[in-house]
Structure 1
Amino acid sequence: MGQTRCMENVLSRWRRELRGTFSNNSAAIPQWELDLEQGSDGGYFGPGTAAWAVHGSMTTLVAGIQSLLLQALHPGALAGVHDHSDYRSDPLGRLAGTIRWIFTVSYGDTTAAQNASAKVLRIHKYVQGTFTTNSGEDRHYGANDPDLLRWVHLAFTQAFLATHQGYGGPIPGGPDAYVADWAVAGALMQVESPPVTVQELRAQLAAYTPELRYDARVAETVSFIRNPPLPRSQQLGYKVLFAAAVATLPPEYRELLRLHTPRLGPIPLPVRCPAKAVLAVVGWSLGATSPSEKSARTRRRRLGLESSPSNHR
Structure 2
Amino acid sequence: MPSNPIAAKFERAFDADIRAKFFKGLDFAGPEGDPGWFGPGSAVWYVHSHLPALVLGLVGAAYIEGLDPSISWMAYDHSRIPERDEHGVPTGNVDVHGATVRLGHSVSFFIGTAYGSTATAERLARTVRAMHHTVKGTRPDGLPYDADDPEWLRWNYATVVWGLATAHERYHRRPLRDIDRYYREFVRVGEALGGTDLPATKAETAECLESYLPRLAVTPIKAFGTGPNLRDSEAKPWEPGSPFMDWAARDMLPGWAQKLVLYRPPNPLVLRARRAALWTALNGLHEATGPIREYREAESRVAKGAWAPVESTAPTAPDPVLSREEVEAMA
TM-score (norm 2): 0.75
Name the count of aligned residue pairs: 284
Aligned AA (1:280): N
Aligned to 1:83: 77
Q: Helix, strand or coil for the counterpart of 2:138?
A: strand
Q: Alpha-carbon deviation of 1:112?
A: 1.8
Which structure 2 residues correspond to residues 6-155 of structure 1 after superposition, within 5 A?
15=10, 19=14, 23=18, 26=20, 30-32=23-25, 35-39=27-31, 41-57=34-50, 58-87=52-81, 88=95, 89-131=97-139, 138-155=142-159
Q: Report percent identity of matched pairs.
A: 20
Q: Helix, strand or coil for the counterpart of 1:68?
A: helix
Against the structure 1 CA distance between its residues 79 and 240, is the aligned structure 2 distance closer, same or farther, given a 3 Å change threshold?
closer
Larger relative contact order (Cα-Cα within 8 Å, sequence gap ≥ 6): 2
Q: Alpha-carbon deviation of 1:250?
A: 0.9
Bigger drift between 67-76 and 249-258 goes to: 249-258
Q: Which runs of 5+ in 2 are unaligned?
A: 82-94, 308-331
Aligned-partner Cα distance in 2 for 1:180–1:120: 21
Q: Answer yes or no: is the 8 Å Cα contact 1:240–1:274 preserved in 2.
A: no
Aligned-partner Cα distance in 2 for 1:271–1:288: 24
Aligned-partner Cα distance in 2 for 1:158–1:165: 10
Against the structure 1 CA distance between its residues 12 and 207, is the aligned structure 2 distance closer, same or farther, given a 3 Å change threshold?
closer
- C-alpha distance after superposition, 1:57-95 (max 9, x if no partner): 131122122111101100111111111111225222211
Which structure 2 residues correspond to residues 1-313 of structure 1 after superposition, within 5 A?
15=10, 19=14, 23=18, 26=20, 30-32=23-25, 35-39=27-31, 41-57=34-50, 58-87=52-81, 88=95, 89-131=97-139, 138-172=142-176, 174-222=178-226, 230=235, 234=238, 240-263=244-267, 268-283=271-286, 287-304=289-306
Q: Alpha-carbon deviation of 1:258?
A: 2.1
Against the structure 1 CA distance between its residues 231 and 44, is the aligned structure 2 distance closer, same or farther, given a 3 Å change threshold?
same
Q: Answer yes or no: is the 8 Å Cα contact 1:36–1:295 preserved in 2.
A: yes
Q: Which runs of 5+ in 1 are unaligned?
A: 1-7, 306-313
- C-alpha distance after superposition, 1:248-275 (max 9, x if no partner): 21111112122232338x9745232101
Aligned AA (1:50): A
TM-score (norm 1): 0.79
Q: Answer yes or no: is the 8 Å Cα contact 1:246–1:261 preserved in 2.
A: no
